[in-house]
Copies of this chain bind each other. A is one copy, B any other.
Amino acid sequence: MTGLDPAAPADADLVAEWRSLLARHAATSCALDRELGERHHLGMSEFEVLERLSEAGLPAGQGLRAQDLALTVHLSQSALSRLIGRLEKAGLVERTLCEADRRGIFVALTDAGRTRYREARPTHRDVLAGTLGDASAENSADPA
């Protein structure tokens, strides 16, 4: 099965890689959602946004453009808009107008948001270590 059809082996490799990626993604994102949700009332994407905002390291009051967030978090702009809405309602971020271009908005962490992120971060790292690091990611945390 290795020399007859030049396309078949490459396909098999690709499919195997894709399935492995699917399995690791499913196990990790599921575990992440569960742990972050139970312990910190955060979804996976919520945490990801808080992390980006925290990494930006902007002084309190300053924020990131929603557009810039959408580039790093893999969400549609509508989903991001609603996600920011949720975080804002929870008091974790603030929307502020962008003076330079009044179409845009800045999204900034509040103190509560910074605190929540600091609390949730160890959980996030633990789950990653448990599912990506170990080989136990096979069937440990499927949605089923």
Q: List residues of A whose CB falls within 8 A of some B CB.
A: 10-11, 14-15, 17-18, 21-26, 28, 70-71, 74-77, 79, 125, 128-129, 132-133, 139, 142-144
Chain copies in the assembled complex:
2
Q: Which 9 A-B pairs have the closest CB atoms?
A: A26-B74, A76-B143, A14-B128, A25-B25, A70-B144, A11-B125, A76-B144, A18-B128, A74-B142
A105 CB to nearest chain B CB (Å): 16
Q: Is the interface of A mostly helix, strand, loop or mixed?
A: helix
A-B contact pairs, 15 of them (CB 8 A): A11-B125, A14-B128, A14-B129, A15-B125, A18-B28, A18-B128, A18-B132, A21-B24, A22-B25, A22-B74, A23-B74, A74-B144, A75-B143, A76-B144, A77-B144
- Partner of A143 from the list B25, B74, B144 (CB cut-off 8 Å) is B74
How far is A128 from B18 in the complex, measured between Cα atoms in Å? 8
How far is A79 from B11 in the complex, measured between Cα atoms in Å? 28
Which residues of B sit under 8 angstroms from A129, Cβ to Cβ? 10, 14
Q: Does A143 lie within 8 Å of B28, measured CB to CB?
A: no
A54 CB to nearest chain B CB (Å): 12
Given contacts A23-B74, A24-B21, A25-B25, contact A143 B15 (CB under 8 A): no
